[in-house]
Amino acid sequence: MPARRLRIGFLLIAVVLSAFGARLVQLQGVDPGSYAALAAAEGTVNVVLPAARGDIVDRDGQPLADSVDGLMVVANPQVTVARAPELAKFLAAELDVDYFPTLTKLRDRSRQFEYIARRVPSTQATDVIAGAEELGFQGLSTRRDPLRDYPAGDIAANLVGFVGTDQAYGGLEEVFDTSLSGRDGSTTYEVGAGNNRIPLGSNSTTPAVDGADLLTTIDRDLQWYTQRVLRQAVQGSGAESGLAVIMDSRTGEILSLADDPTFDANTPADSPNVDRGSRALSLAYEPGSVEKVLTVAGLVDAGKVTSRTRLTVPGRLDRQDRTINDYWEHGTINLTMAGVIAKSSNIGTVLAADRFAPGQLRTYLREFGLGERSNIGIPSESRGILPAGEGWTSQAEDRIAFGQSLSVNGIQMAAAVNTIANGGLRVDPSLVQGSATTDDGVAVGTDTTTTRRVVSENAARQTAQMMERVVDPEVGVAPRAAVPGYRVAGKTGTAQRVGAECGCYDGTNTVSFGGFAPANEPRFTIYVAIQAPTNGGGGGSVAGPVFSQLMSYTLQRYGVAPTGTTPSMLPVTW
Alpha-carbon distance 414 to 518, whole Å?
Answer: 16
| CB 264, CB 153: distance < 8 Å | yes
Give the list of residues 6+ apart from residue 22 with CB closer than 8 angstroms, or none.
Answer: none
Q: What is the mean predicted confidence (pLDDT) over 325-345?
A: 97
Predicted confidence (pLDDT) at residue 36 exceeds the cutoff of 50: no
**Average pLDDT value for the chain:** 91
Alpha-carbon distance 417 to 368, whole Å?
Answer: 8
Q: Which pLDDT belongs to residue 145?
A: 83
Q: What is the pLDDT of residues 473-509, one digit of tens each?
A: 999 999 999 999 999 999 999 999 988 777 788 899 9
Q: Which of 124, 138, 139 is nearest to 94 (CA)?
A: 124
Q: Write down all domains in the chain, each with its CATH number in brackets.
A: 46-215 (3.90.1310.10), 220-263+278-557 (3.40.710.10)
CA of residue 12 relative to chain centroid, distance? 78
Predicted confidence (pLDDT) at residue 41 exceeds the cutoff of 50: no
Length of the chain: 574
186-205: b or e for each residue (b if 16 or more CB lie within 10 Å)? eeebebeeeeeeeeeeeeee
| Torsion angle of the four alpha carbons 523, 417, 295, 462, in this order, in degrees rounded to the nearest 10 | 0
Q: Which pLDDT belongs to residue 208?
A: 86
Beta bridge partners of 489: 516
Residue 344 CB neighbours (<10 A): 28
Q: Which pLDDT belongs to residue 110?
A: 86
pTM for the structure as a whole? 0.86
Q: Which pLDDT belongs to residue 164?
A: 84
Alpha-carbon distance 465 to 307, whole Å?
Answer: 8
Q: Which pLDDT belongs to residue 35?
A: 45
Q: What is the pLDDT of residues 364-384, one digit of tens each?
A: 999 999 999 998 988 889 999
Task: Identify which has the larger pLDDT, 112 or 153.
Answer: 153
Q: Which pLDDT belongs to residue 37?
A: 45
Predicted confidence (pLDDT) at residue 245 exceeds the cutoff of 70: yes
Active site annotation includes 289: yes
The one catalytic residue in 289, 430, 512, 548 is 289
Helix, strand, or coil here: 177?
Answer: helix
